[in-house]
Amino acid sequence: MSELAIRVADLKKTYRTPFRRRRVEALRGVTFAVERGQIFGFVGPNGAGKTTTIRTLMGLIRPTGGSATILGHSIRERAARYRVGFLPESPYFYDYLTVGELCDLTGRLFGVAADARRKRADELIERVGLGRARTQSLKKFSKGMLQRAGLAQALMNDPEVVVLDEPMSGLDPIGRKEVRDLILELRARGKTVLFSTHILSDVEALADRVAIIARGSLQSEGTPAELVRRSVLAIEIAVRAPDAAAADALSTAPATRLRFADGELVVSVPPDTDVDAWLARARELGATTLSVAPRHETLEDLFMRQIAGADDSPAAREGRT
Amino acid sequence: MVGRIWAIALNTFREAARIRVLYGVLVVVVAANVLAAVLGQLSIHEDVRLAQDIGLAGISIMGSLTAIVLGVMLLYAEIQRRTIHAIVSKPIARWEFVVGKYVGMALVLSVLVGLFAIAMALMLTVDGDGVTMAVVKALVLAWLEVLVVAAIAIFFSSFSTPFLSGIFALAMWTLGRLTPDIEAATHAASPSIGIVARVALEIVPDLNLFAVSGHEVSGELVSVHDMFVSWGYVAEAAAHGIGWIVALVALACVLFERRDFA
pLDDT at A315: 47
Mean pLDDT over each residue of chain B, to the nearest integer: 85
**Is residue A316 pLDDT above 60, yes or no?**
no
Q: Are B12 and B87 in contact (CB under 8 A)?
A: no
Q: Are A180 and A202 in contact (CB under 8 A)?
A: yes
| A59: contact with B, CB 8 A cutoff | yes
Reduce the DSSP state of residue A241 to 3 states and report it.
coil
Q: What is the Cα A10 distance to its own chain's centre? A: 21
Q: In sequence order, what DSSP letters do the residues of B144-169 get, joined into one string?
A: HHHHHHHHHHHHHHTTS-HHHHHHHH
How far is residue B189's CA from residue B221's CA, in Å, rounded to a whole number? Answer: 28
Helices then strands (H, E): number in chain B?
10, 2
Sequence-ordered list of residues with C-beta below 8 angstroms from that of A42, at least 6 positions apart, any chain: A50, A53, A54, A194, A195, A196, A197, A210, A211, A213
The β-bridge relationship of strands A161-165 and A217-222 is unpaired
Among the ranges given (A76-80, A187-191, A212-216, B216-220), the one the predictor scored with the smallest mean pLDDT? B216-220
Q: What is the Cα B162 distance to its own chain's centre? A: 17
Reduce the DSSP state of residue A162 to 3 states and report it.
strand
How far is residue A70's CA from residue A78's CA, in Å, rounded to a whole number? Answer: 11
pLDDT at B198: 82
Q: Are A92 and B82 in contact (CB under 8 A)?
A: yes
Report residue A321's pLDDT band, with 50, 70 and 90 as the boundaries.
very low
Sequence-ordered list of residues with C-beta below 8 angstroms from that of B51, at least 6 positions apart, any chain: B33, B36, B37, B40, B120, B123, B124, B127, B129
Residue whose C-alpha is closest to residue B115's, from B44, B50, B30: B30
Q: What is the Cα B100 distance to its own chain's centre? A: 17
Mean pLDDT over each residue of chain A, to the nearest integer: 86
Residues of chain A with C-beta less than 8 angstroms from the C-beta of B86: 86, 88, 91-93, 106, 150, 153
Residue whose C-alpha is closest to residue A84's, from A102, A99, A106: A106
d(CA A239, nearest CA chain B) in Å:
53
**Prediction pTM value:** 0.82
Residues of chain B with C-beta less than 8 angstroms from the C-beta of A18: none
- Sheet of A256-261: strand order equals A256-261, A264-269, A232-240, A288-296
Among the ranges given (A84-93, A265-274, A297-306, B131-140), the one the predictor scored with the smallest mean pLDDT? A297-306
B258, closest residue in chain A (CA to CA):
A62
Tell me which range, A169-178, A197-206, B136-145, B219-228, is most confidently predicted by mean pLDDT: B136-145
Cβ neighbours of B181 (radius 10 Å): 11
pLDDT at A11: 92
Q: In this structure, which long-range contacts are made by residues B127-132, counting pairs with CB atoms below 8 Å and at least 24 apart in sequence?
A: B127/B37, B127/B40, B127/B47, B127/B48, B127/B51, B128/B48, B129/B48, B129/B51, B132/B224
- What residues are paired with A99 via a beta bridge? none
Among residues of chain A, what percentage have pLDDT more than 90?
44
**Is residue A102 pLDDT above 50, yes or no?**
yes
**Is residue A30 pLDDT above 70, yes or no?**
yes
CB-count exposure of residue B79 (10 Å: 0-12, 13-18, 19+): middle
CB–CB of A60 and B3 under 8 A?
A: no
**Is residue A160 pLDDT above 90, yes or no?**
yes
pLDDT at A2: 58
Residues of chain B with C-beta less than 8 angstroms from the C-beta of A85: none
The β-bridge relationship of strands A84-87 and A73-74 is unpaired
Stated as kind and residue range, the H or E segment containing B249 is helix B231-257
How far is residue A288's CA from residue A282's CA, in Å, rounded to a whole number? Answer: 7
More confident residue, B232 or A224: B232
How far is residue A112's CA from residue A104's CA, in Å, rounded to a whole number? Answer: 9
Picking from A86, A96, A109, the nearest residue to B18 by CB comes out as: A96
pLDDT at A317: 45
CB–CB of B260 and A61 under 8 A?
A: yes
Report residue A240's pLDDT band, with 50, 70 and 90 as the boundaries.
very high
Name residues of chain B where pLDDT drops below 70: 43-47, 127, 188-189
| A18: contact with B, CB 8 A cutoff | no
Sequence-ordered list of residues with C-beta below 8 angstroms from that of B48, at least 6 positions apart, any chain: B40, B124, B127, B128, B129, B225
How far is residue A237's CA from residue B55's CA, in Å, rounded to a whole number? Answer: 89
Reduce the DSSP state of residue B123 to 3 states and report it.
helix
How far is residue B176's CA from residue A306's CA, in Å, rounded to a whole number? Answer: 60
Q: Are B138 and B213 in contact (CB under 8 A)?
A: yes
List, for residues B108-138, the tens digit of each pLDDT value.
999 989 988 888 888 878 767 777 888 898 8
Task: Give the pLDDT mean for A261-276.
Answer: 90
Backbone angles phi, psi at A238, to 5 degrees: -115, 130
- The residue of B11, B78, B88, B89 whose CB has the most chain A CBs within 10 angstroms, and thus the best one to mutate to test that interface, is B89
pLDDT at B1: 81
Residues of chain A with C-beta less than 8 angstroms from the C-beta of B15: 94, 96
Reduce the DSSP state of residue A141 to 3 states and report it.
coil
A14, closest residue in chain B (CA to CA):
B260
Task: Give the pLDDT mean for A147-175.
Answer: 89
Residue whose C-alpha is closest to residue A161's, from B84, B82, B89: B89
Q: Is the ipTM of this complex over 0.90?
A: no
- Locate the DSSP E strands across chain B: 216-217, 220-221
pLDDT at B154: 93
Q: What is the Cα A109 distance to its own chain's centre? A: 28
CB–CB of B262 and A81 under 8 A?
A: no
Backbone angles phi, psi at B159, to 5 degrees: -140, 0
Taking each helix axis from N to C end, the angle separating B231-257 and B133-157, rounded to the nearest 10 degrees, works out to 10
CB–CB of B261 and A153 under 8 A?
A: no
**Is residue A136 pLDDT above 70, yes or no?**
yes
Please report the residues numbered 135 through 154 in chain A whose beta carbons come closer than 8 angstroms to any beta carbon of chain B.
150, 153
Biggest CA–CA distance in chain B, Å, is 63
Residue whose C-alpha is closest to residue A32's, from A217, A246, A207, A185: A217
List, for residues B10-54, the tens digit of each pLDDT value.
999 988 888 888 888 888 888 877 777 777 777 666 667 777 787
